Each structure stands twice: as structure tokens, then as C-alpha cells.
Amino acid sequence: MALKKLGKQTVKFENPPSIIATASIVGPVEGKGPLREYFDLILSDVNFQEKSWEKAEKKMLKEAAEMAIRKSGVPGEQIEYFIAGDLLNQIIAASFAARELGFPFFGIYGACSTMAEGLGLGAMLVDGGYADNLVVGTSSHFCTAERQYRFPLELGNQRPPTAQRTTTGAGAAVISSKDQNPRITYMTTGKVIDMGEANPNDMGTAMAPAAVDTIVRHLEDSNRSPEDYDLIITGDLASVGKDIAERLLKQKGIDISDRYTDCGLLIYSPQQDVHAGGSGCACAAVVTCGYLYKEMQKGRYNRILLVATGALLSTTSVQQGETIPCIAHAVALENL
């Protein structure tokens, strides 16, 4: 019997697992943004002393995981699982990082929702008594994503105003059974939503309905209201999708505008040429593992609903004329 299940899609953790340490690594552009002081490492170049951008992305994820473990004080031999994913072909950044880390590995794919998905699954393992300490991580890289999903940078193609910049970075968090704030108290698993959008240069419009669906479901399942949260943050709808999400929620009688923002809007400043804002697996990851985690430690936020969104497209699906299926996973982070 599913004793911890609430409603259709939400889990309430009986013994809320703790996030005892995080680490965030970002690229040079992200390091010039408004959240620069929250990141553990800002790269001086996007190659990270590697021969390719893909190798650089793998290195970022590996080092973010190792950094989070060091900061947690948990010996490496006591890390029981590594849960990670990314955007590269068959999640090779995560798989190749796992090859070097040597931990039992769960490879997951939720596109830009991967960090929230990983945090929720990791919390299930710890709350269920299957692990005491594990690492969750994800990464993305502007150059690898452009090469894979759109056009090689060498072509110099112009992007439309609705396009988002894939964040170069990696984030990792150690989830533990230790008694420490902040905790993961709820997870609402999203459903795949496809409203017929097909433009790979407009992810915000495609993903907004999935974010709305998950937020509505979380509030209904948990019997909570927006006022129960200090902050509701999506990741990453950016400017286009955020506006759509707010309008769709208001149509359902839910107004979150006084406590709502988006990771894709926080990570870059308006003066940076990023069009609609940020995206990529690392966007929600570094904002969560950097800004959100550290502000919760300070007590500025005590209850956050993180709703990370993902566009589940591929180069193959785009070339076949498919529309874009999207998903959003929500985790509640709380100081208890």
C-alpha cells in the first residue's frame, strides 16, 4: 500500500531527507551574471582545459559531485548512489562522470527538469531506507547543446528573441538521512504535456503548460496554497514561458505572481545578450545548488517550491516534424 502517496502525483516524505551540501560550477558568461557570488567555481574558459566542449561538460559534472562530497564531510566510501543526467547523446556526460566516480549509478533523463527529478528520486531512496547518503547532479554546456540541438557555433546563426541560452555549468547535491536543514519534504512527479508547440527555438511556450499542470497538481495533492511558500520558482521557462505560466494559472484561479520567479531569469542580467533567458539542465541545478541553497541556509527562504521543467525533444524528433512533449517535476525544500 502506498502509504506516503498524496493524491495522484505527490509523495510526502515521512522522514524528510536533508541536503547537507551542494556545489555549483559555471562558465564565464554565467560568472558575470547577478548570481556570481553564489557559485563555487567560475571557469575562465568554456573548454575547462579539455580538448572538446563535451569533455569539459563531463569534467564539470564530475568535479561538482566531488566538491559537494568534500563539503558534506561524508567519506566517499559512504556515498551509496550517484543519480545524474544531462542533455548529451544518451546522457554521456553523466555516464562518463560516473565511470570515474565509481559509485553505483542511476542515469536519468528529464532534460532541463533533471535536477528536480534527481532530488525527488534521491529523497525517495533515503526516506525509503534504501540509502543514507547519495549524490544528485546534472550539467549542460552552451556549446555542446548548440552543436547537438541547433547549429554549430562556427556558422554564426542568429537566434530569435524567443530562444534561450543553454547554461554552461554543473550542480550537485548530497542528500542524507542526517538531521539537517534544508529538507526535501514533498515531490510531485510531472506528466508529459504536449500542447502542439513545435518550435525548438521557443522552449518557454512549449514548457509552460507542463509547469502549470504540476503546480496545480502539487497544490491540490498537498492541500497547500501559494501562500504556504516563500518562493515558487520554475526552471527554466525564462521570460516568455514565465508570463504564459502566470496567465494560465490565473485562469485557474491561482495567483502566484507575488512570490514567483524563474531560474532562467535569475542567472543572467538583462544586459547580457541571452534573448529570453537561460535554459539547460545546469540552469535549475546551479541556481538551486548555489543561490537557493545558500539563501535557505541564511534563513531568507524557509519554504521553496522548485518546479523544474524539461522539453523532451531530440534532433531526431525535430527532424521528423514532431511536436515537443514537456514535463515538470516539483520538489518542496523546507527548513524545519
Per-residue pLDDT at 148: 79
Per-residue pLDDT at 1: 66
Per-residue pLDDT at 149: 77
Task: Tell the residue number behind the cell numbers 524557509, with chain if given.
Answer: 302
Query: How many Å apart are CA 184 and CA 334, to the nearest integer?
Result: 6
Backbone angles phi, psi at 102, to 5 degrees: 85, 10
Q: HEC string of 285-329?
A: HHHHHHHHHHHHHHCCCCEEEEEEEEECCCHHHHHCCCCCCEEEE
Rg (CA), the chain: 18
Query: How many Å apart are CA 91 and CA 150, to the nearest integer?
Result: 18
First to last CA, the chain: 27
Q: 18-46: string of b/e by CB count within 10 Å (b at 16+)?
A: bbbbbbbbbbebbbebebeebbbbbbeeb
Contacts of 104 (CB under 8 A, 6+ apart): 80, 81, 82
pLDDT, tens digit only, all 336 positions of the chain: 688 999 999 999 999 999 999 999 999 999 999 999 999 999 999 999 999 999 999 999 999 999 999 999 999 999 999 999 999 999 999 999 999 999 999 999 999 999 999 999 999 999 999 999 999 999 999 999 888 777 676 766 777 789 899 999 999 999 999 999 999 999 999 999 999 999 988 999 999 999 999 999 999 999 999 999 999 999 999 999 999 999 999 999 999 999 999 999 999 998 898 999 999 999 999 999 999 999 999 999 999 999 999 999 998 898 899 999 999 999 999 999
- Domains in the chain (CATH in brackets) are 5-176 (3.40.47.40), 183-334 (3.40.47.40)
Per-residue pLDDT at 160: 77
Per-residue pLDDT at 318: 84
Query: How many Å apart are CA 247 and CA 212, to the nearest integer?
Result: 10
Query: How many Å apart are CA 96 and CA 109, to the nearest integer?
Result: 15
Query: How many Å apart are CA 274 and CA 159, to the nearest integer?
Result: 10
Residue 257: count other Cβ atoms within 10 Å of its Cβ: 13
